[in-house]
Amino acid sequence: DAGVIQSPRHEVTEMGQEVTLRCKPISGHNSLFWYRQTMMRGLELLIYFNNNVPIDDSGMPEDRFSAKMPNASFSTLKIQPSEPRDSAVYFCASSPLDAETQYFGPGTRLLVL
Amino acid sequence: KQEVTQIPAALSVPEGENLVLNCSFTDSAIYNLQWFRQDPGKGLTSLLLIQSSQREQTSGRLNASLDKSSGRSTLYIAASQPGDSATYLCAVRGGGSNYKLTFGKGTLLTVNP
């Protein structure tokens, strides 16, 4: 199994630009999670999907952030417009339904100048 | 709101030493607790998972304990090796159907040859 795949691995952009992060979960996994990791706040859950439906987006910081899961094998996290404080590592994780743990992708390191 | 604290934030030890990493959480109504390992530029890998009804779990040189009533967990690493150098994160999952993982900020471990 290829594991959770994220792209791009690194992204450098300028303030005000739109950023789209992509995730392919492990085949057969029903749940998908987007996290953000910063030195100050650690690892925080942004949004959780179950069977492609957003269940909890209470961690999404503001309206500039949006996430979609059009099918079971693909999800996007979009930031528009991006700001320097959005600089962080964004992780996608997936798990089978009711699984005990989550399987993390390698992350996308985002730098907004 | 669940809060997870890890002490120390960083630890440097010589190869061969036994060591203990600490994790504390504020809400004892947890479903399980996990220890993850994070290597630079990589995602998280689950090391050990302890159910709320268990006291400890072991895998090779790793042993994790859980004292739910006091809100504490420890990760014991025996005979440390340079390959153990990484950031170790503790995460708790809420009780009931709460899927959410709350992470500590991690302990950066360096094992010197």
| Contacts with B104 from chain A: Cβ below 8 Å | 42
Scanning every residue of chain A, which has its alpha carbon at the shortest distance from the alpha carbon of B6?
Answer: A42
Where are the strands (E) in A1-113, listed by range?
5-7, 10-13, 19-24, 31-38, 42-50, 53-56, 65-71, 74-79, 88-95, 103-104, 108-112
* Higher-pLDDT residue of A68, A97: A68
Q: What is the pLDDT of residue B97?
A: 59
Helix %, strand %, coil % of chain A (to 5): 5, 55, 40
Q: What is the pLDDT of residue A46?
A: 95
Res. A1 pLDDT band, cuts 50 70 90 = low
The answer to whether the Cβ–Cβ distance between B41 and A106 falls below 8 Å is yes
Check if B57 contacts A (Cβ < 8 Å). no
B35-92: per-residue pLDDT in tens? 999 998 888 999 999 999 999 999 999 999 999 999 999 999 999 999 999 999 999 9
The answer to whether the Cβ–Cβ distance between B34 and A101 falls below 8 Å is yes
Helix %, strand %, coil % of chain B (to 5): 5, 60, 40
Tell me the average pLDDT across B4-29: 95
Select from B2, B111, B6, B113 the least CA-distant residue to B61: B111
Which residue in A39, A43, A53 has the most chain B C-beta atoms within 10 A of its own C-beta, making it the best mutation to test that interface? A43
Phi-psi region of B97 (alpha: psi -120 to 50; beta: other; left: phi over 0): alpha
Average pLDDT, chain A: 93
Q: What is the pLDDT of residue B49?
A: 93
